[in-house]
């Protein structure tokens, strides 16, 4: 039998070799703000466990390197990812001196690169398996449950990021819910305003260029500058419109963050609505009128369903963008996970930065997978073909 290399596998194996043998697996610090010391896999874990982990990694890298059956590749990537997840917790316990509450252990570059490499392998396998949209969401749920179990089990409790969490458990969930509210709320507002605006732009030729240009310009304003621009008008509204202040409208805080995210969201929603409606086959529109549909019936019965997958694509862009952008709401006192990021930057405490960044990335990632699945399902159900 001829031995053949897998193209992506070669890259993965090279990355893994570097990460496992040359890069640090974990970082140890005497307290949360001093510079850390690197620890390799063998230094970060009891000898037997460390050797076992290395053996698993090498074996999996070999599976990746050669052309092997998909199932084997799937098992290899899942086993390594599970082992890494469990053992980084073990490294925390192993490296922290007993009774020392100040020492901090965090995952280092080697760990992150290994996670990246084997996630790449897993993603490749899942793509090649050609999973249905529902199955992909299923994989996401299983992964989320596994991470949830690890968190509850306490096996990560000795990692620095969870120590930061332990100190801020209450505010973590409060800021988290503020973050999600900001991202989803501004999305909802953008959809409520953007859909009709997009329909209007589609119907009224003269509005088209003007509206899209204005939204384009807004999109290019840096977020900090946009916050600055909003302070004055919102401050004015707060002092001059009765009841506005009671609603929480102020120059700084949640209101300008919400308004900024809303403004950024408008362009993708409006533009995709316009593009989606423009892409409705002429013949379908013509037939709808010829069959005796009123304008409303045509909009809801023909144009909208046919444009829906494209509009959803816009909503997906907005949701992922908003989950990320909501981080900067913290800059003007708007709350959200950004609070930890900016506190962490201020205190040069990387762990605190991660406490804000990791959940943000995870949320964005999950949102992308779920919406991609929804888009694919609606697109296959209402396939758009003009032929």
Q: How many CA atoms lie within 13 A of 383 on its CB side?
A: 4
Among 211, 306, 339, 357, binds other proteins (CB under 8 A): 306
Any contact of residue 293 with other proteins (CB under 8 A)? yes
d(CA 104, CA 110): 17
Any contact of residue 383 with other proteins (CB under 8 A)? yes
340 to 359, contacts with other proteins by CB under 8 A? Answer: none
Among 128, 132, 289, 348, binds other proteins (CB under 8 A): 289
Any contact of residue 323 with other proteins (CB under 8 A)? no
With b for 16 or more beta-carbon neighbours within 10 A and e for fewer, the 363-379 pattern comes to bbebbbbbbbbbbbbbb
Any contact of residue 324 with other proteins (CB under 8 A)? no
Any contact of residue 279 with other proteins (CB under 8 A)? no
Among 213, 239, 294, 347, binds other proteins (CB under 8 A): 294
Short-list 172, 310, 332, 200, CA closest to 261: 332
d(CA 218, CA 225): 11
Nearer to other proteins by Cβ, of 185 and 281: the residue is 281
Nearer to other proteins by Cβ, of 128 and 382: the residue is 382
Any contact of residue 220 with other proteins (CB under 8 A)? no
Among 95, 288, 319, 328, binds other proteins (CB under 8 A): 288
Any contact of residue 203 with other proteins (CB under 8 A)? no
At 105, is the secondary structure helix, strand, or coil? strand
**Structure token pair of residue 303:** 């144009």
Short-list 290, 194, 312, CA closest to 202: 194
Kindly indicate which of the ranges 92-100, 173-181, 256-264, 287-295 contains the residues binding other proteins, using the contact rule CB under 8 A: 287-295
End-to-end CA distance of the chain: 47
Residue found under tokens 């900016």 = 342
Cβ neighbourhood burial of 356 (10 Å; 0-12, 13-18, 19+): buried
Among 125, 137, 302, 339, binds other proteins (CB under 8 A): 302
Shortest reach from residue 311's CB to other proteins, in Å: 14
Any contact of residue 269 with other proteins (CB under 8 A)? no
> Which residues are near other proteins by CB under 8 A?
281, 283-284, 286-294, 297, 302, 305-306, 382-387
């Amino acid at each position: 039998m001829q031995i053949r290399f897998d193209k992506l596998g070669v890259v993965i194996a090279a990355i893994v070799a570097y990460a496992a043998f040359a890069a640090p697996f974990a970082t140890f610090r005497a307290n949360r703000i001093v510079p850390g010391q690197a620890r390799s896999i063998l230094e970060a874990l009891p000898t037997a466990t460390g050797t076992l982990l290395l053996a698993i990694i090498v074996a999996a890298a070999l599976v990746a390197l050669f052309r092997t059956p998909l199932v084997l590749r799937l098992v290899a990537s899942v086993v390594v990812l599970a082992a890494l997840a469990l053992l980084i917790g073990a490294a925390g316990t192993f490296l922290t001196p007993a009774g020392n509450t100040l020492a901090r252990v965090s995952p280092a570059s080697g760990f992150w690169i290994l996670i990246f490499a084997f996630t790449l392998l897993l993603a490749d396998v899942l793509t090649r398996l050609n999973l249905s949209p529902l199955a992909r969401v299923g994989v996401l749920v299983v992964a989320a449950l596994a991470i949830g179990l690890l968190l509850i089990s306490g096996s990560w409790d000795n990692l620095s990021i969870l120590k930061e969490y332990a100190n801020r458990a209450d505010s973590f969930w409060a800021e988290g819910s503020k973050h999600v509210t900001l991202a989803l709320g501004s999305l909802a507002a953008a959809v409520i305003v953007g859909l009709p605006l997009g329909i209007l732009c589609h119907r009224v030729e003269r509005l088209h260029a003007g509206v899209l240009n204005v939204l384009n310009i807004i999109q290019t304003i840096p977020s900090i500058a946009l916050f600055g621009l909003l302070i004055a008008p919102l401050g004015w509204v707060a002092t001059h419109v009765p009841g506005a202040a009671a609603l929480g409208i102020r120059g700084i805080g949640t209101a300008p963050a919400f308004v900024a995210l809303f403004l950024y969201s408008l362009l993708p929603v409006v533009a995709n609505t316009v593009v989606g409606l423009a892409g409705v086959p002429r013949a379908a529109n013509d037939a709808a009128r010829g069959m005796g549909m009123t304008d409303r019936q045509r909009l809801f019965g023909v144009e909208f369903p046919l444009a829906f997958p494209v509009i959803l694509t816009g909503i997906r862009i907005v949701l992922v963008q908003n989950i990320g952008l909501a981080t900067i709401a913290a800059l003007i006192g708007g709350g959200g996970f950004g609070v930890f990021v900016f506190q962490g930057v201020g205190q040069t405490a990387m762990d605190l930065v991660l406490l804000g960044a990791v959940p943000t990335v995870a949320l964005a990632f999950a949102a992308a997978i779920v919406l991609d699945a929804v888009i694919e399902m609606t697109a296959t159900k209402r396939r758009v073909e003009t032929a």
